[in-house]
């Protein structure tokens, strides 16, 4: 495997020896030229370093001596003499000979040169430093008897600026054994004084591992100097069942936080009753919107006060009834351990399931309907993604595969990821298969991400043969459909040989969200509050300054924006002042330019018809206080689509007439559907 | 998903070895032949930079200093390759803002372990 490197090294070393020789000859003429000394030193340094890397130990030893001699010249500890240059030239020839016959070892000539060189380098006989990479972390996992350790780790304030991520270090520690960590945030300043680039947190960590002191210390190798770190072995706590003290403390803290009286009991309620409750709250929110519309029109302070009070109460009632429906994903996730185990036995594969974020809560309806897609994804991973232990060992992966199931929050959405470290998907093969199955034209221009999305198309299957586990032609499209029914989306990412990650993006709840009501011409839209960061003004002057580019400067940061009136092709005069809502997307921060931001709006999500199925940037609709309809936009999809359109030069063409959004524009134009 | 790593070394064989090792582990690897070349290729999209210290034009220490002077590149993990076992050079790199180091000669496994340590 190193054959290629050796050849490259030989060629490189010959070039460097040529450089060295040229520098030496020039140095003979201009012994004072420091740059020439530096050049010679660099050439030798590279020969030494690379030689040692690829097993040319004799060459490394030889060039080390020569390098040491030139190092002294470089530092001004010795002067250039022609006898040294002669010696160096002879040494260069000797290295060249060794390159051609690496197994030849030292010739008598080489021994003589080496002895002479030592006079110059001022070193006793020595080998080049052959310490193994100090940075090796946890390599020698020669696990001894598990011991309990207690660590206190306060990273220096600048560790993150220097590129270290304390969370990765804690993760690495977790790899050594069972850990319980408690964050110490006392040093955290008030928000206004907080510098986001500095690290204020510290951790107390209890760790049980057999890896030993050195392995633990190696985790912190790079940050040790600038951090406070104490590592203590805890004696006399060998009982494997004894709970770590810190865990107990964490539990105490959690209990205190919950402040639930021990007697608090739960009540079982039929699911339909909950559904009904949420429906009623939805109705109430809609009526509330009407009330506040009327009260703002009447401009009566008495009614206004009542309306505001009811507004507050509805919001609370809503949050409460929603939270009743939220359940942690733990039960759903834990069930998959058995599935992975059973499938592994059936297929002769070995895999470990890691579960993360099992405490993430989701609407119970969403959870119920999530089970089948997840089963499908895990089956796919086990069946198609993960290789047999032999095949894995052959490509240098551990025999046991890792499947990860994780859940996390992202705005008003929950991301559920299923990833494996199997063979991944080959975009080329997917494409070929899609062409074969007539899903895409042979010459279609598709990015790699788009190609991978093809596996979600109906009828697509990459499996070479039908198996009992999966791959009967019904595949990922079922997953996609179930998730889309939940108003979610599916994303596939993969690297050939390095595994596959499928991300399900699901709304936290199916019923009501916090939104921002904005106006574009005569039409109203809702932007989910969870994605919205801030609102800034966009004046004509700023537009002119940008020379026609859709870029705005927000607090010194340049942010591209999308003008909704243009995106939706609405013929409307541009107002003197526009507003930009800055939204957070996976593509980064983007602005959405609107005519006006009207304010906060509790938004009851209504499903929209099939007509809008191909318009993914519209995630639903809601009814406003005055009875008109506002579309709920999905900023993530909208930005993705706009980027895509900008890339392909096509224009969006979504007419808003279809659902009767009042005064929806596009006058004089044909009523068109969104052209996918 | 693919993390991008920039290897900066005037030695083609070292670059080749780093590329081979990291590409095999699923990383995308870019190469630069010295500090000046690397400076042009630095971007916040990189996950890790692995740089040699002794290089013509701009050396590794200089590269680290310039990178850290750019607010967008603060926090970018930068690993230095040292042959020197001397503390001095390592300390100089640390003071310039290097994240960590790997001592040559190193094995593929050691390289991967250190890259995983800083890139996650």
CATH number at residue A84: 1.20.120.160
The ipTM is: 0.87
Q: Give bridge partners of residue B103 from the DSSP assignment.
A: B82
The whole-number pLDDT of residue A667 equals 35
Q: Give bridge partners of residue A285 from the DSSP assignment.
A: none
* CATH code of the domain containing A347: 3.30.565.10
Q: Are residues A229 and A368 in the same domain?
A: no
Do residues A552 and A546 touch, judged by C-beta distance below 8 A? Answer: yes
For chain B, positions 56-75, list CB contacts with chain A under 8 A: 56, 68, 74-75
A267 domain residue, yes or no: no
Judging by DSSP bridges, how do beta strands A588-594 and A577-585 pair with one another?
antiparallel
Nearest CA to A538 out of A498, A478, A579 is that of: A579
Answer yes or no: do A136 and B12 touch at CB < 8 A: no
Q: Are residues A501 and A522 in the same domain?
A: no
**Is B14's Cβ below 8 Å from some Cβ in A?**
yes
Answer yes or no: do A495 and B104 touch at CB < 8 A: no
- Partners of A123 on chain B (C-beta within 8 Å) are none
CB pairs < 8 Å spanning A and B = 148
The whole-number pLDDT of residue A405 equals 93
Last residue of a domain, one of A64, A86, A121: A121
Q: Give bridge partners of residue B40 from the DSSP assignment.
A: none
* Chain A closest-CA separation from residue B117 CA (Å): 7
* Chain A closest-CA separation from residue B41 CA (Å): 18
Nearest CA to A672 out of A615, A595, A608 is that of: A615
Q: Are residues A494 and A576 in the same domain?
A: no
- Partners of A139 on chain B (C-beta within 8 Å) are 109-110, 113
Last residue of a domain, one of A507, A527, A557: A507
Task: Identify from A53, A217, A448 which residue to disrupt to test chain B contact, counting B C-beta atoms within 10 A and taking the largest count.
Answer: A53
Do residues A601 and A516 touch, judged by C-beta distance below 8 A? Answer: yes
Q: Are residues A468 and A596 in the same domain?
A: no
Question: Considering its fold, how many domains does chain A have in total?
Answer: 5
Q: Are residues A317 and A345 in the same domain?
A: no
A263 domain residue, yes or no: no
* CATH code of the domain containing A648: 2.30.30.40
Count of Cβ atoms closer than 10 Å to residue A633 Cβ: 25
* DSSP output for A211-229: S-HHHHHHHTTTTGGGSEE
Residues 6+ apart with CB under 8 A from A6: A54, A55, A56
What superfamily does domain B4-119 belong to in CATH?
A: Response regulator (3.40.50.2300)
Q: Give SS3 for A671.
A: coil
Q: Report the C-alpha gap between A22 and B120 in whole angstroms.
A: 44
Name the residue range of residue A320's domain: 273-327
Q: Are residues A305 and A323 in the same domain?
A: yes
- Strand runs (DSSP E) across A394-457, as ranges? 401-410, 413-420
Alpha helix ranges (H) inside A327-424: 330-347, 364-380, 389-394
Q: Are residues A290 and A229 in the same domain?
A: no
- Partners of B14 on chain A (C-beta within 8 Å) are 49-50, 53
Q: Give SS3 for A20.
A: helix
The whole-number pLDDT of residue A176 equals 86
Answer yes or no: do B17 and A5 touch at CB < 8 A: yes
A173 domain residue, yes or no: yes
A64 domain residue, yes or no: yes
Q: Are residues A502 and A649 in the same domain?
A: no
The whole-number pLDDT of residue A384 equals 81
A86 domain residue, yes or no: yes
The whole-number pLDDT of residue A468 equals 37
- Partners of B77 on chain A (C-beta within 8 Å) are 163-165
- Phi, psi for B52 (deg, rounded to 5): -75, 165
What is the C-alpha radius of gyration for chain A, rounded to an integer number of angstroms? 33
Answer yes or no: do A133 and B10 touch at CB < 8 A: no
**Is B99's Cβ below 8 Å from some Cβ in A?**
yes
Run means of pLDDT, 10 residues per run, chain A, 676 residues: 73 88 84 83 86 83 83 79 83 84 64 76 53 41 72 87 87 86 83 84 87 85 85 66 55 57 65 83 85 85 89 86 83 87 87 89 83 87 86 88 88 84 81 79 78 76 45 62 81 82 82 84 89 85 77 84 88 84 86 90 77 79 84 87 73 37 36 35
Do residues A568 and A592 touch, judged by C-beta distance below 8 A? Answer: no
A516 domain residue, yes or no: yes
A265 domain residue, yes or no: no
Answer yes or no: do B114 and A136 touch at CB < 8 A: yes
Is the pTM above the cut of 0.80? no
Q: Report the C-alpha gap between A605 and A611 in whole angstroms.
A: 17
A192 domain residue, yes or no: yes
């Amino acid at each position: 495997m190193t054959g290629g490197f050796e050849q490259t090294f030989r060629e490189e070393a010959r070039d460097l020896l040529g450089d060295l020789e040229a520098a030496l000859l020039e140095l003979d003429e201009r012994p004072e030229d420091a740059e020439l000394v530096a050049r010679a030193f660099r050439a030798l340094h590279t020969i030494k370093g690379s030689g040692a890397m690829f097993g040319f130990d004799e060459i490394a030893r030889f060039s080390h001596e020569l390098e040491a001699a030139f190092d002294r010249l470089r530092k001004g500890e010795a002067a250039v003499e022609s006898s040294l240059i002669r010696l160096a030239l002879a040494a260069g020839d000797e290295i060249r000979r060794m390159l051609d016959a690496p197994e030849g070892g030292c010739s008598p000539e080489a021994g003589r040169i080496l002895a002479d060189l030592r006079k110059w380098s001022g070193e006793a006989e020595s080998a080049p430093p052959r310490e193994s990479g100090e940075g090796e972390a946890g390599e020698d996992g020669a696990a001894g008897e598990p011991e309990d350790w207690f660590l206190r780790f306060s990273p220096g304030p600048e560790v993150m600026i220097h590129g270290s991520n304390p969370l990765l270090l804690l993760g690495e520690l977790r790899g050594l054994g069972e850990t319980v960590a408690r964050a110490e945030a006392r040093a955290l300043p008030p928000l206004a004084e907080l510098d986001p680039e500095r690290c204020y947190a510290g951790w107390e960590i209890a760790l049980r591992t057999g890896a030993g002191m050195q392995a633990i210390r190696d985790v912190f190798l790079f940050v040790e100097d600038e951090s406070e770190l104490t590592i203590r072995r805890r004696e006399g706590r060998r009982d494997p069942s004894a709970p770590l003290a810190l865990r107990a403390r964490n539990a105490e803290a959690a209990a205190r936080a919950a402040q639930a009286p021990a007697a608090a009991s739960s009540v079982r309620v039929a699911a339909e009753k909950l559904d009904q409750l949420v429906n009623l709250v939805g109705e109430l929110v809609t009526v509330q919107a009407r009330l506040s519309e009327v009260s703002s029109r009447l401009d009566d302070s008495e009614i206004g006060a009542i309306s505001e009070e009811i507004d507050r109460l509805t919001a609370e009632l809503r949050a409460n009834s929603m939270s009743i429906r939220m359940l942690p994903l733990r039960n759903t996730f834990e069930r998959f351990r058995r599935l992975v185990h059973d499938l592994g036995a059936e297929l002769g594969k070995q895999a470990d399931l890691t579960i993360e974020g099992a405490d993430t809560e989701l609407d119970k309806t969403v959870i119920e309907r999530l089970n089948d897609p997840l089963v499908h994804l895990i089956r796919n991973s086990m069946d198609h993604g993960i290789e047999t232990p032999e095949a894995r060992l052959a490509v240098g992966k551990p025999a046991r595969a890792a499947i990860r199931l994780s859940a996390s929050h992202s705005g008003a959405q929950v991301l559920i990821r299923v990833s494996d470290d199997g063979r991944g998907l080959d975009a080329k093969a997917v494409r070929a298969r899609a062409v074969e199955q007539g899903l895409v034209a042979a010459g279609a221009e598709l990015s790699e991400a788009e190609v991978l999305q093809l596996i979600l198309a109906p009828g697509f299957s990459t499996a070479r043969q039908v198996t009992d586990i999966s791959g009967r032609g019904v595949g990922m499209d079922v997953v996609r459909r179930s998730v889309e029914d939940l108003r979610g989306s599916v994303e596939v990412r993969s690297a050939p040989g390095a595994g596959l990650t499928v991300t399900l993006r699901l709304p936290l709840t199916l019923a009501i969200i916090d939104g921002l009501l904005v106006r574009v011409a005569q039409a109203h839209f809702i932007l989910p509050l969870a994605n919205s960061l801030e609102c800034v003004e966009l004046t004509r002057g700023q537009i002119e300054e940008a020379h026609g580019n859709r870029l705005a400067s927000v607090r010194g940061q340049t942010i591209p924006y999308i003008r909704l009136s243009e995106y939706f092709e609405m013929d409307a005069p541009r107002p003197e002042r526009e507003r930009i809502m800055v939204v957070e997307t996976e593509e980064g921060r983007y602005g959405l330019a609107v005519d006006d931001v009207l304010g906060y709006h509790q938004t009851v999500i209504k499903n929209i018809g099939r007509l809008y199925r191909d318009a993914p940037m519209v995630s639903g609709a809601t009814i406003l206080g005055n009875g008109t309809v506002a579309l709920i936009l999905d900023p993530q999809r909208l930005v993705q689509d706009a980027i895509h359109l900008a890339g392909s030069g096509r224009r969006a063409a979504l007419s808003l007439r279809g659902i009767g959004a009042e005064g929806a524009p596009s006058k004089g134009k044909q009523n068109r559907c969104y052209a996918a | 998903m693919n993390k991008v790593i920039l290897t900066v070394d005037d030695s083609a064989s070292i670059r080749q070895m780093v590329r081979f090792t990291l590409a095999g582990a699923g990383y995308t690897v870019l190469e630069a032949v010295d500090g000046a070349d690397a400076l042009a290729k630095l971007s916040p999209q990189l996950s890790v930079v692995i740089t040699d210290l002794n290089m013509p034009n701009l050396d590794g220490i200089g590269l680290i200093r310039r990178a850290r002077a750019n607010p967008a590149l603060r926090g970018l993990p930068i690993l230095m390759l040292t042959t020197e076992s001397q503390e001095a050079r390592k300390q100089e790199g640390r003071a310039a803002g290097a994240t960590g180091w790997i001592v040559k000669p190193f094995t593929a496994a050691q390289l991967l372990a250190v890259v995983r340590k800083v890139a996650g």
